[in-house]
Amino acid sequence: MAKYKYNHLKVPDDPILNAKWREETIHLASQNHPNVEKFRHQIRECCRKDFWYWAKGFAYVHEARILDDDAELEDLDTKVPFLPWPHQIPIANHILKVLGKRDVRLVKSRAQGASWLIVLITIWLWLFRRGAKVNLVSKDMDAADKPGDMDSLGAKAFWLLEALPEWMTGTQRKDWNRNKSDHTFTRMDGETAITFYACTANVATGGRALVFFMDEHGKHPRPQDRDAMASTQPISRCRICVSTPFGMSGEFAKIIHDNTISEPVLVLAWWDNPTQNRGLYHIVKGKPVAVDEEKYGPLLPEYLDYEKWTKLKERLLERGYDLSSDKYHSPWYDGECLRQGANPVLISQEYDMAFGSEGAQYFAEALVNRLKNFVRRPIKGEFSVNPESLTGKWTENPDGRLKLWCELDIRGNPPMGEYVVANDVSAGLGGSSTSNSATCVFNRRTGKKVASFASPSIIPYELAELSIALCRWFVNYKGDPAFLIWEANGYGGEFTKRVERANFQNYYRRKAKDSPMIGRSTDKAGYWTYKRSLLLGPYREALLEGHFDNPEHESLEELRQYQMGPDGEPYHVGEADKTDPSGAKGAHGDRTIAEALSWEASCSFGDQLKSRNYDNKPNVMNATENNVPRESFAWRRAQYLKEFRKKKNETNW
């Protein structure tokens, strides 16, 4: 640490010395002595002339994350003195140089502090440049200005103002005002203001401004993003468009790739961030090679260990990452790649700043190849269903549609377990272009898929009858039927009606829209898919971590048919010429959906039970064969009453 001698005209960069300088400056500016006003005036003048003097000497940022692995939760302090990372300095300097004069294009990796840099420049202008009119635009109003939500730009700005001394900012409601309904910060001079906007086609039409900050411009709604750029052009000479990529469509992608614009594209990349680029390396012939040991440090010991490196490489390959390209990696970057929910498209866009990254396989080739090592030959047969009792009987048949990966007892029943029966429902019209209806039976206790059914020619209500019969065949130790789940979208509506008519109660209740897996359930029957990633993401994670044993060859082949779009959402690519022994030549990936549904039901099974209406529990008045355990007293009584009513109805009296 360098020697320290206090000088109010120079702010030290060293974190320890910087903290000491801030403390002494605030102390001197707060004392009641004859020269305090003169001292404050000098400080304000230094701030006005030099953005970095103000930012490094007085500004704070709000950091809600724990960034140090050795830190304790009780040590968390969200108010962090702002000291710029080296790669932020030239970006801010360029913005300040052209401010109010020219447009700026900035592409960034995630977590580089770009939003806070925007807020800092905005507040500095508002404090020290009379007449500065700054407009900030985000994808919607909540992202632009939502009081109390630190993810919004307006809440960040207000938090920063409260962190600054009053002799610098002035007194609220006397020198300046915060209008929540108008989403503005205004000074009482009548000229200086900050206004927050949602991206609309006519954003800020008719006004005038020094600068527009277009935050996360790539994620602004379309076509409003294009119209907003046209609307703001006559309002200001300076629009600063900042974003991570979000596919090749949209106005941000267009202006970034417009070679006729003379202003350079600024880049704020993770590999220039000293907290993220330690141990930076390339992969050369399958091995990690340090990029620049003097600048980024040597490879960590675990990267030099053959076994540890091989294990890490296999995990990255199974998640679909391309290790043949000559792009940058680091221990921090690898950790982000392996986090839950991460995928190659997300990492490519959010960290590597790639615009056209769609098309990658959602289930990586390396993962599928590993899973295929555990494929097992099934027992095939047919399961005939009694349409009145909705029970079934198994018959072995080498050409049968129902596959089993479990042994049957002497009575022809599967072993008892905690089962889920999951369905993806198609029209069932048959033909070469019709997709399969698919059923998966999964033992949530053992993590094994034990049965599978696929057919393009079974109509939805017949599939519902088959599924209920399978639920009554795959029972637990109490004799309770398996838990039933199906995709309610599309042809699932007909399936739903048949289940409800059957008075079968052990089925999945729908969750609120876009809810996480622990979300509140409703009374609506069946799973409703709003986003494929919410269904397929947890299933992919289960396959990666070995929690879901899938022994079926055809099912694993269908995993290859899912790719990722530019937004990271999976979609299915039909292969019209693909041969499918079930008869569905289109191979629409239905088995994959059924398996993902079985995993969803397994994970949310406890929540489903808690959300049930216990007032509807069976009793002596409403007990039926369908809603009480098999072979129980209530079950035998229900059978007796059923036969009694049947005979009574047959009486000719």
Residue 36 inside a domain? The answer is no
Distance CA(381)–CA(139), nearest Å, equals 54
Quick one: 168 and 312 in the same domain?
no
Distance CA(525)–CA(508), nearest Å, equals 6
- Residue pair 165/30 in contact by the 8 Å Cβ criterion: yes
At 402, list the tokens: 């129902």
pLDDT at residue 382 tops 60: yes
Quick one: 653 and 602 in the same domain?
no
- Residue pair 165/171 in contact by the 8 Å Cβ criterion: no
pLDDT at residue 308 tops 80: yes
- Residue pair 249/219 in contact by the 8 Å Cβ criterion: no
What residue has token string 């990633």?
A: 533
> Residue 549 CB: number of other CB atoms within 10 A?
18
Give the number of domains in the chain: 4
Sign, Cα dihedral of 427, 430, 434, 438: positive
> Residue 30 CB: number of other CB atoms within 10 A?
12
Domain of 335 in residue numbering reads as 281-371
Give the model confidence (pLDDT) of 39-57 as tens digits: 999 999 999 999 999 999 9
Distance CA(109)–CA(126), nearest Å, equals 27
Give the model confidence (pLDDT) of 580-590 as tens digits: 444 443 335 68
Q: Identify the domain boundary among 354, 371, 388.
A: 371
Instruction: Return phi, psi of residue 335, to 5°.
Output: -60, -40
pLDDT at residue 240 tops 70: yes
Strand partners, 334: none
Kindly give the interhelix angle for 15-30 and 51-58, rounded to the nearest 10 degrees.
90
Span 311-328, average pLDDT:
85
pLDDT band at 465 (very low <50, low <70, confident <90, very high): very high
Enumerate the H helices of 460-571 as residue ranges.
460-473, 492-501, 532-544, 553-559
Q: Identify the domain boundary among 335, 354, 371.
A: 371
476 to 366, 479, 480: CA distances (angstroms): 36, 5, 5
Percent of the chain, pLDDT > 90? 63
Span 338-342, average pLDDT:
85
Pick from 24, 32, 86, 35: which is nearest to 58 by CA?
A: 24
At 313, list the tokens: 């490489």
Distance CA(458)–CA(221), nearest Å, equals 41
Residue 457 inside a domain? The answer is yes
- Residue pair 484/504 in contact by the 8 Å Cβ criterion: yes
Sign, Cα dihedral of 164, 168, 174, 176: negative
Quick one: 211 and 337 in the same domain?
no
The pLDDT, as a whole number, for residue 597 is: 96
- Cα of first residue to Cα of last residue in the chain, in angstroms, is 106
137 to 191, 365, 581: CA distances (angstroms): 20, 41, 54
Q: Which amino acid is at 395?
A: T
Q: Identify the domain boundary among 371, 401, 423.
A: 371
Give the model confidence (pLDDT) of 187-211 as tens digits: 999 899 999 999 999 998 888 999 9
Question: For 106-120, 134-148, 580-594, which range has the lowest pLDDT when averaged over its residues?
Answer: 580-594
Quick one: 607 and 628 in the same domain?
no
Pick from 114, 345, 135: which is nearest to 245 by CA?
A: 345
Residue 16 inside a domain? The answer is no
Between 156 and 641, the higher pLDDT residue: 156
